[in-house]
Amino acid sequence: MEIRPEAADEADVVADVLLAAFGAEERVVVDLVAALRASSAYRRELALVALDAGAVVGHVMVSRGWVDSPDRLVEVGVLSPLSVRPDRQGEGIGTALLARALAEAQQTSWPLVVLEGAPRYYGARGFERADRFGLLRPSPRIPAPAF
């Protein structure tokens, strides 16, 4: 399996993976990724695809966000979304994408990466609850354990 930054002409194959993973009714995720790509938050080296035999089987994106600290805005990474084609889930592809995305994020000036996700999945892969670090949820709709 190869993990590398997504290519400019891979938006459609990435959208197929997103829709397969999140469900065809979740076009909002495809729209989110498109909006991020078109924004100043986009970092191509942090938008990664996993390929097997040349086919895209997974995708992860870390974009630039901000934490509003008492004296300034701090740039941070925001990891979203992470997806693996359903017929390839449970093989470690998501874990590998996550590890590579975090290794790439280490090369930035960002002090941390935040996400909203399943505490069991991300907790087993090095993430901790953000409120332990004094970070407030960006929305009350995000359950505290998921941030």
Ligand X SMILES: CC(C)(COP(=O)(O)OP(=O)(O)OC[C@H]1O[C@@H](n2cnc3c(N)ncnc32)[C@H](O)[C@@H]1OP(=O)(O)O)[C@@H](O)C(=O)NCCC(=O)NCCS
Contact positions vs ligand X (CB under 6 A): 21-22, 80-84, 89-95, 117-118, 120-121
Tell the smallest beta-carbon distance from residue 28 to ligand X (Å): 13
For the chain, count helices (H), then strands (E).
4, 5
Query: Based on CB atoms, which residue is closest to ligand X, 95 or 108?
Result: 95
Question: Which residue's Cβ lies closest to ligand X?
Answer: 94
Query: Based on CB atoms, which residue is closest to ligand X, 64 or 73?
Result: 64
3 state SS of 4: strand
Tell the smallest beta-carbon distance from residue 69 to ligand X (Å): 25
H runs (alpha helix) in 3-145: 11-22, 27-37, 93-105, 119-123
DSSP summary character for residue 137: P
